A and B are shown apart, each in its own frame.
Chain A
Amino acid sequence: MLFWLILFFPLLGAFLNGLVLRKASPTVSHVLGAAALVAAFIYALITYLQFMGAGGQAQVITGIDWIDAGTFKAPFNFILDRLSGMMLLIITGIGSLIHIYAGGYMHEEKATYRFFSYLNLFVFMMLLLVLGDNLLVMFIGWEGVGLCSYLLIGYWYEDDKNAAAGMKAFLVNRIGDIGFLLGIFLTFKYFHTISFSQLKDMILTAGANLNGEQLQAIGWITLALFVGACGKSAQMPLYVWLPDAMAGPTPVSALIHAATMVTAGIYMMTRLNFLFYLAPDTQMVVASVGAITALFAATIALVQYDIKKVLAYSTVSQLGYMVLGCGVGAYSAGVFHLFTHACFKALLFLGAGSVIVAMHHKQDMREMGGLRKFMPVTHFVMLIGVLAIIGFPGLSGFFSKDEILWRAWTGGDSYHIQWGLGALAAVCTSFYMVRLLMLTFYGKNRSDHHTQEHLHETSVVMWGPLVVLAILSAGVGYLNVPHILPFPAHLLFENYLEPVISIPPLVADHWHHLHAEYPHSLEWAIMGVSVIGMAVSSIFAISMYSDGFGKLAQSLGSVFKSGHRVLSNKYYVDEFYDAYFVTPLRDIAQFLWKIVDVVIIDGIVNGVGQACMLIGGLSSFRMSGSLHRHGMVMIVGIVCMLSVLFF
Chain B
Amino acid sequence: MEFINSHILSITTFVPLLTAIAVLLSPALSIARWVSMGGSIVAFLASLHIWFYFDAQTAGLQFTEMHEWIPSFGIRYIMGVDGLNLLLIMLTTFLTPLILLSVWHLDDKKQKAFLSLFMTLECGMLGSLVAFDLVFFYVFWEAMLIPMYFIIGLWGGKNRIYATTKFIIYTFVGSLLMLAAMIVLYVLHFQQTGVYTTNLLDLYGTSAEYSTQMWLFAAFALAFAIKVPMFPFHTWLPDAHTEAPTSGSVILAGVLLKLGTYGLVRFAIPLFPQATATFAPVMVALGVIGIIYGALTAWMQKDAKKMVAYSSVSHLGFVVIGSVAVISGGAALSAEALTGAVYQQINHGISTGALFFLVGCIYDRRHTRMLADFGGIAKVMPWFAVMLIVATLSSVGLPGTGGFVGEFLILLGTFLSSPLAGATAALGVLLGAVYMLTLCRKILFGPLENEENKTLEDLTPREFAYLTPLAILAVVMGVFPNLFLDKVRPSIENLANNFRNYKIVAEAPLESNQLLGADHKEMGH
Contacts and interface: CB of A to CB of B under 8 A. Distances in A.
The answer to whether any beta carbons of A and B sit under 8 Å apart in the complex is yes
Interface of A: 19, 22, 64-72, 136, 139-140, 142-144, 147, 150, 154, 157-160, 162-164, 167, 170-171, 174-175, 177-178, 181-182, 184-186, 188-189, 585-586, 588-590, 592-594, 596-597, 601-602, 605, 609
Given A70-B335, A163-B445, A593-B297, A182 B423 contact: yes
Given A185-B422, A589-B300, A590-B300, A72 B489 contact: no
**7 smallest A-B Cβ distances: which pairs?**
A70-B335, A163-B445, A589-B296, A69-B339, A140-B399, A157-B445, A185-B415
A597 B236 CA distance: 11
A68 B386 CA distance: 30
A169 to B, nearest CB: 10
B148 interface: no
A22 B430 contact: no
- Please indicate which of the listed interface residues B296, B382, B426, B492 has the most CB atoms of chain A within 10 Å of its own CB: B296
Contacts of A185: 411-412, 415-416, 419, 422
A178 B399 contact: no
Contacts, number: 146
Main SS at interface, chain A: helix
B79 interface: no
A592 B296 contact: yes
B485 A69 contact: yes
Contacts of A170: 433, 437
Contacts of B430: 171, 174-175, 177-178
Contacts of B236: 605
Given A69-B336, A178-B427, A157 B378 contact: yes
Nearest to A140: B399
A599 to B, nearest CB: 11
Nearest to A605: B235
B65 interface: no
B219 to A, nearest CB: 18
Contact of B340 (A69, A181, A593): A69
A150 B389 CA distance: 12
Interface string B469-481: 0000000000111
Main SS at interface, chain B: helix
B426 A182 contact: yes
A164 B441 contact: yes
A139 B481 CA distance: 16
Contacts of A601: 232, 234-235
B196 interface: no
A300 B252 CA distance: 52
A592 B416 contact: no
25 contacts: A66-B479, A69-B485, A69-B489, A69-B492, A72-B409, A139-B399, A140-B399, A150-B437, A158-B376, A158-B379, A158-B446, A160-B441, A171-B430, A171-B434, A181-B426, A181-B429, A184-B412, A185-B412, A185-B415, A185-B422, A188-B416, A586-B299, A589-B299, A593-B297, A596-B293
Interface in B268-302: 293, 296-297, 299-301
Contact of B297 (A65, A72, A597): A597
A189 B415 contact: yes
Given A72-B409, A144-B399, A609-B169, A160 B422 contact: no
A95 to B, nearest CB: 20
Contacts of A596: 293
B80 to A, nearest CB: 23
B419 to A, nearest CB: 8
B335 A67 contact: no
B433 A593 contact: no
B450 interface: no
B405 interface: yes
Contact of A143 (B399, B405, B493): B399
Interface string B389-422: 0000100001110001100110111011001001
Given A158-B379, A185-B412, A602 B235 contact: yes
Given A69-B489, A147-B393, 7 more contacts: A68-B486, A158-B447, A163-B445, A167-B441, A170-B437, A185-B416, A597-B235
B170 interface: yes
Contacts of B426: 178, 181-182
B334 interface: yes
A593 B300 contact: yes
A66 B441 contact: no
Nearest to B236: A605
Nearest to B488: A69
B485 A177 contact: no
Contacts of A589: 296-297, 299-300
